[in-house]
Amino acid sequence: MERLLVLVRHGQSEWNLKNLFTGWKDPGLTDQGVAEAHKAGEQLRDLKLNFDLAFTSVLSRAQKTLGIILEELDQIGLETLKDQALNERDYGDLTGMNKDEAREKFGEEQVHIWRRSYDIPPPGGESLKMTAERVLPYYKAEILPRVLSGKRTIVAAHGNSLRSLIMELEGLSPEEILKRELGTGTPIIYRLDEDGKVISVQDLAA
């Protein structure tokens, strides 16, 4: 039985382009982000992948990316579950702030820690650990059982909500996840065994 799980971060958003901390805000995709979503769909189509089920967040940048990918796969209308558990990490007081201005104000190191560390939250926001505390229970309750039953599944979500899931899937340490970046609109293909352990990973960004 095929146990297929594909993760894809949304295409470039308007706030990615403006270099603003986004979190739970809901900007749309830029033209480049739309093109990235089409390319992701084409890549998956070229690999002859099809899906039985999709998951995404309640934010439009992820939903729109998923919709474009499904369009490329001729799977418009595929059963899709949307849940805020898959939302991007909440950036709290940094939301809407320019990342370079934040580096000037707080220092490069502090901003890197807030952006990429495991358990240090930005002021008023969520750490990656806190994000994982909502992503992983949802994954284990709603996504994994369906993948293990043979439902070929795609999850379109966000850089940090997916990093928290990848940390679990790939057994990464807090030091390793610190260095893990996800490009916009680039699918990562996982195949799992019957226990949900990763057998293979194919990062289409690579």
Residues that bind ligand 2PG (CB under 6 A): 16, 21-23, 88, 91, 115, 159-160
172 in Cβ contact with 201 (< 8 Å): no
Q: Would you say 52 or 83 has its CB closer to ligand 2PG?
A: 83
- 12 carries a ligand binding annotation: yes
Annotated catalytic residue 112: no
- 180 carries a ligand binding annotation: no
Name the catalytic one among 10, 36, 72, 126.
10
- 90 carries a ligand binding annotation: yes
161 in Cβ contact with 88 (< 8 Å): yes
- 91 carries a ligand binding annotation: yes
Q: Would you say 49 or 97 has its CB closer to ligand 2PG?
A: 97
Distances (CA, A) of 63 to 14, 94, 101, 140, 166: 15, 24, 29, 21, 20
Instruction: State which residue has the least CB distance to ligand 2PG.
Output: 22
Q: How far apart are CA 138 and CA 155, in angstroms?
A: 12
Annotated catalytic residue 158: no
SS3 136: helix
How many Cα atoms within 13 Å fall on the side-chain side of residue 153? 23
Q: How far apart are CA 22 and CA 33, in angstroms?
A: 15
Catalytic residue ranges: 10, 88
Q: Which residues are annotated as a binding site for substrate?
A: 9-16, 22-23, 61, 88-91, 99, 115-116, 159-160
Q: Which residues are annotated as a binding site?
A: 9-16, 22-23, 61, 88-91, 99, 115-116, 159-160
